[in-house]
Structure 1
Amino acid sequence: MTTVEIVVYEGFDELDAIGPYEVLANAAGLGADIAVSLVTLEPCDVVEASHGLRVEPDGVLGSPDVLVVPGGGWNDRSAAGAWSEAERGEIPEAVARLHDGGATIASVCTGGMLLAHAGVLDGRPAVTHAGALSDLREFPVEVREERVVDDGDVLTAGGVTSGLDLAFHLVERLASVEVATRVASEMEYDRR
């Protein structure tokens, strides 16, 4: 069983987390050996996303095989979101620790900036939301303007909706092209 944990925090972008969650959960429903959950760094009952969606996390961050880090709140330097999480430093620390322990790390949108702050993008190709590419260029990263960048144990996806493409890419890696195609068909999603 491949465990995928999506870390959510105050001000995360809804689609960055919920889109990949749905793709991965649908793959599991079709028999893929994947367990996906929404987690937080510390125990809490509810997390409020950037557009007001309130979610109940499944638990706290453990030692997943794959960690997905959503973005949100970076470009407007929001008091809640990726910008403030980078300032706090706890998510970047967790990302670095898990990556050092062998986990695959993936980001959606400006979640890539949290990976940059963790140092896991150093010397690697990566992408983030178009509005944050100049910020990403301040790090020792080979910035790409692609939808999804797969560098083995670190994957990054561009803007908000690219999280869906990242999730389908993960399903191909963790299960098969056939399962990813079936999920896309059920969701009526034209993959890019």
Structure 2
Amino acid sequence: MIAQVVLFDGFDPLDAVAPYEVLSASGMVTRNGIEAEFVSAEGPRQVPSGLGGLSLRATAALRPQHADLVVVPGALGRLPDGNEPADDSIPAVLARTLDTPLPALLKESLDRPGLTVATVCGGSLVLAMAGLIEGRPATTHHMGRDLLAATGTVAVDARVVDDGDLVTGASVTSGLDVALYLLERELGPRVAHAVEKLIAYERRGTVWRGTGAELTVEV
């Protein structure tokens, strides 16, 4: 399996590196592990993160026809303060992705049968602001949940939300949980458990799915 982890200007490094490392680690514990690579919508390039001088190199272009998993991180910048978004605020950094080839490639990814798009933290807002997940359940960082809901997405207060070909994670560190869940879903619980032991981290929380008994009370 091929996992393409998307980089864009201002991305949050932990959002990208955590799932990249977890997914790549599957190859250390099973013969048929996941091959992860950093990509960008524009192709191979050095991509500046939102953390000072830190950048990562995208070694390839995002190619939905080539990938089995596409992982979209969030951004790192100034926290929203209720005023007009500054150019270096997280919402502004995420909004700038709309002026790149990324939204069209993410639409192609969601349209391709058999491909799963996963997001970490504000990554779901990239999809939502592009109008790609209206009416679908998803999660994001708690500070961005109102913005997520304003796009017509069904904002869920859960650490990981599974809506079939869309798997979303809530906060920065949820990239570990999203990736471990994808390992369990795609390669099985033995692989996921082995990687948990390898990185000394246990996946947190129940994965939300829109199945099962109806709730009689909202909590």
TM-score (norm 2): 0.81
Aligned match of 2:68 in 50, 54, 65?
Answer: 65
Aligned match of 1:106 in 115, 118, 122?
Answer: 118
Runs of 4+ in 1 over 4 A off after TM superposition: 74-77
State the Cα deviation string for residues 67-125 of structure 1 (Å, max 9, x = none).
Answer: 11100147545277323213x15322211122112221111100100111233322211
- Could you tell me which amino acid in structure 2 is paired with residue 131 of structure 1? M
Secondary structure in 1 matching 2:150: coil
TM-score (norm 1): 0.91
Give the distance between the partners of 1:146 and 1:9, measured in 2 at CA. 25
- Could you tell me which amino acid in structure 2 is paired with residue 59 of structure 1? A
Structure 2 partner of 1:132: 144
Give the distance between the partners of 2:36 and 2:95, measured in 1 at CA. 25
Q: How far has the Cα of 1:48 moved from its partner?
A: 1.4
- Could you tell me which amino acid in structure 2 is paired with residue 19 of structure 1? A
User: Matches of residues 7-156 of structure 1 in structure 2 within 5 Å?
Assistant: 7-31=6-30, 32-51=32-51, 52-63=53-64, 64-73=67-76, 75-76=79-80, 77=85, 78=88, 81-86=93-98, 88-102=99-113, 103-156=115-168
- Across the two proteins, how many residue pairs are aligned to each other? 190
Which of the two has higher C-alpha Rg?
2
Q: How far has the Cα of 1:149 moved from its partner?
A: 0.1
State percent identity of aligned pairs: 35
The question of whether the paired residues in 2 share the 8 Å contact of 1:72 and 1:81 is answered with yes
- Could you tell me which amino acid in structure 1 is paired with residue 108 of structure 2? R
Gaps of 5+ in 1: none
Aligned match of 1:180 in 165, 168, 192?
Answer: 192
Secondary structure in 1 matching 2:158: coil
Alignment RMSD = 1.8
- Could you tell me which amino acid in structure 2 is paired with residue 90 of structure 1? P
- Could you tell me which amino acid in structure 2 is paired with residue 24 of structure 1? L
Q: How far has the Cα of 1:16 moved from its partner?
A: 0.4
The question of whether the paired residues in 2 share the 8 Å contact of 1:24 and 1:36 is answered with yes
Structure 1 partner of 2:213: none
Q: Which protein has greater RCO, CA pairs closer than 8 Å, 6+ apart?
A: 1
The question of whether the paired residues in 2 share the 8 Å contact of 1:96 and 1:119 is answered with no
Give the distance between the partners of 2:132 and 2:168, measured in 1 at CA. 11
